[in-house]
Structure 1
Amino acid sequence: MASKRAVFLDRDGTINVEKDYLIDPAEFEFIPGVPEALQKLQQAGFLLVVVSNQSGVARGYFGLDDVDRLHAHMKVLLKEYGVVLAGVYICPHHPTSGVGKYKIECDCRKGEPGMLLQAARELDIDLPKSFMVGDKDADFQAGSAAGCSSILVRTGHGEKWVQKAHENNVPAVADLPAAVEKILQA
């Protein structure tokens, strides 16, 4: 039986400042307060798992190696705060805009729960005791489909999804630090 609680985290617009198709590590910038908020979650015993749609791979804007390089940079920056990610999962696919093998319908692209389900299997995560935090409807749809509680942050693209979040009984909060406070109170 799965025993670990996790917080699944969207990347762009949730952890880092939204920049269209961010791939250059030099342009990576945390949203204020995020590393400290992740530190609190980790100290409370949550696994931290990044789940990120990366359709720039499907669109031919960059390769998987570029995504890996950016995530390695993010991990180095987080390590300065003592934060260690339990996993980073990406979906390189897009159903309509893409080239080659990545232009497919898949079960890993958020709103589908594939990345969360894979992480749960690999990391022994108890999904009903876990949370999904992101800035788009696809994030809370994926969280809901996986059986997690979801929280929408208003950073990134979040502001335009607040109404849909309310319609789906998903709380909308200012940013990731606010989401962490809500999680720790739950």
Structure 2
Amino acid sequence: MAVSPPVCDFGASWHDFLLPDGAGRMHGRDMIAGPNGTLIMFICNHCPYVRAIMDRILRDAHDLMDQGIGVVAISANDADSYPEDGPEHMARLAKAKGFRFPYLHDADQTVARAYGAECTPDFFGYNADGQLQYRGRLDASGRTAGPPGARRELFEAMMQIARTGAGPRDQVASMGCSIKWKAA
């Protein structure tokens, strides 16, 4: 079922975390933060929305990193119910696709809950002061990739944040599969 998260809560503070990647190495928010801002993405391996835009996510994430913006991807799906979203599969995907940023596993889902993540993909763009300035989509893609020349909304927003500290006021919410929460 497709889910759209709420639009940006401008100025909301980011949350600290310490999570393992697929190889068990720990990464914290402050280790990832970039001098020009930070992008925190909630993604997963099995989501068709993420799969449709994975190459675009990587293109934009890597381009942002080259501009001094820290990037991290976090999978918070229940790996017991969705084994493809487990750490070993995450590590395999990150290696195969050439991720230059950490891909972390939020096994107890506390980080996703703290951020208010709702779907995959869900993008949170912070300025250098750790204030939320973007919570929108990557581009006009949905369950299938948009046109090849689609406007790079996330990339443009993060570059604006890097330059000015403030994100665009007009943002279109991301859309994707709901995060697969563990049963209470």
TM-score, structure 1 as length reference: 0.43
Higher helix fraction (1 or 2): 1
Higher strand fraction (1 or 2): 2
Which structure would you say has the larger RCO, counting Cα contacts within 8 Å and 6 or more residues apart?
A: 2
TM-score, structure 2 as length reference: 0.44
